[in-house]
Structure 1
Amino acid sequence: MPSQTVLAAGGVVWRQTDEGIRVLAVCRKKYRDLSFAKGKLDPGETFAEAAVREILEETGIAGVLGAPLGAVKYRLPSGRKKHVAYWAVKATKAAIAASKFSPNHEISEIAWLTLDEAREGLSYPADVDILNRFEQLVAAEGLDTYPVVFLRHAKAGAAPTDSQRPLTETGQEQARAAVGPLRAFGVRRVFASTALRCQQTAEPIAQAIGQEVHAEEAISQAAWERGEDDPTTIIASRVQKAKPVVLCSHGPVIPALMEALAAETGTGSSRELREASSLSTGSFTVAHVRRGGQIVAIETHSPLDERRPPK
């Protein structure tokens, strides 16, 4: 009897032309249908990683994840349930030029479509639902965004001094597990509290993208406890630069960082933002910020938990 839900991920790949927005659809040879690029998660893979990988495999486009479009759920002909998470994914001119797509046994063709053409041509209601959400994002001017990622340090052990607490084996595993999904969101800079547990959490992603970890005492728990923390300055700097960034800090400090981001972008405080800044160890929240504007979407991930198969 069908049991476990099939997990998958994909995206609405888009580009801006002189005639307007175009979205990329794939024609699957086996099913003779038209849909957005997507595919099943590999064992131990997160949704974010799978979305980027499947888009590359099916279209040849190497992209990073923009704002989330949510998930759709439906039943397969076998009776099993399927859960597919989607994101908006910008196709840059460089990525399009570098694409080596050619018709293959799975995808016979890819097609750039207007939104109206996509609505008429998509084969499944679930894809039309995702298109509707994409159009809502377009209307909200939520396509041109950059991610500000708040990462809580991974699980730490004991030490005579709090700032010198090292990661446990589980913490090291959490830090490594975060690398793939953080890369999927295209982070380019890494900042972390001066506490050892934050530095060790941030080091794997920094190494993966060829960057150094920028140590920031102003976002440490020690500074927060002394009343000397300064989330406003670092957030103002990152918003001014408008580049993808990850900030690794502590449970009590991350809500202040989120509040500073909301204030700096004119978003205003909300329950959703407060809840998204309450993170378990090794988890992160992505705030998708419109260039020159407000936060348009937020999402939270626990990479190690996502990698483990459901019991």
Structure 2
Amino acid sequence: MTGPDSPERARRDFSHLLSYGDYLRLDTLLSAHQPLTAAHDEHLFIAVHHVSEVWLDLIVRELHAAMSLLAAGVTDAPLKMLSRVVRAQEQMTNAWEVLKTLTPADYLEFRGAFGQASGFQSAGYRMMEFLLGNRNPAMLGPHEHRPEVHGPLLAAMSAPSIYDLALRLLSARGFALPPEVLERDYAAPYAEDPAVLAAWLAVYRGPQTHWDLYELAEKLIDVEDNFRRWRFNHLTTVERTIGFKAGSGGTSGAGYLRRALDTVLFPELWQVRTHL
């Protein structure tokens, strides 16, 4: 068949043209899958983590762009970027479902091969956390040996988070927020404030008047909701694979991950629901 819809009409000679594989540099991408053992399931383990790192790279890029615009007082484009972040988070969370096909016996075939390597050391994940406001100087330690990674992480930890920028936007719109909220030590954990809660309450009680702020708040809730889901799926995947053994990177494993579930990124946005 040689009609207009026939596959034979597709271009087939790419000796002097950019092909799909060339454009995506698939040789480079797939060559990074280098198992250290002959275990069949190590390839799965590497693939899931590679995919997650690619999504993290996109999330960080979108967060940086959204934050730059929020800092300039722009709200419409950041909402689209945060929607993209949410969708990418969903893909990361779904990746755990693939990894859960790895049984404890499967994992033990290659676990000892990668030594102290751990997702705890993911610079992409740490950057995402820092941009969202979950900060702890101790988390910089695993990256001190790589200045090109440590430097940007340190800068992110010392700069306003996306929530800090949202609060600055509230202030710019006339909501009374104290200086200790607006000009705080950004490397320190955020401390909830009654004035911030009062401001968000005003937004939620008058969404028609403050529609873009209301939409921004709900989009931040979407981001944190997915942040929590990813962590919960991480915990359950670890528990079903290694139980309560210590993590390869030195943490307590499931115990550390369970404690991390208590993290709240945007406290007043959750509290506002109780006070409405």
TM-score normalised over the length of structure 2: 0.23
Higher radius of gyration, 1 or 2: 2
Instruction: Considering fraction of residues, name the structure with more strand.
Output: 1
> Could you say which structure has the greater relative contact order, defined with CA pairs below 8 angstroms and 6 or more residues apart?
2
Instruction: Considering fraction of residues, name the structure with more helix.
Output: 2
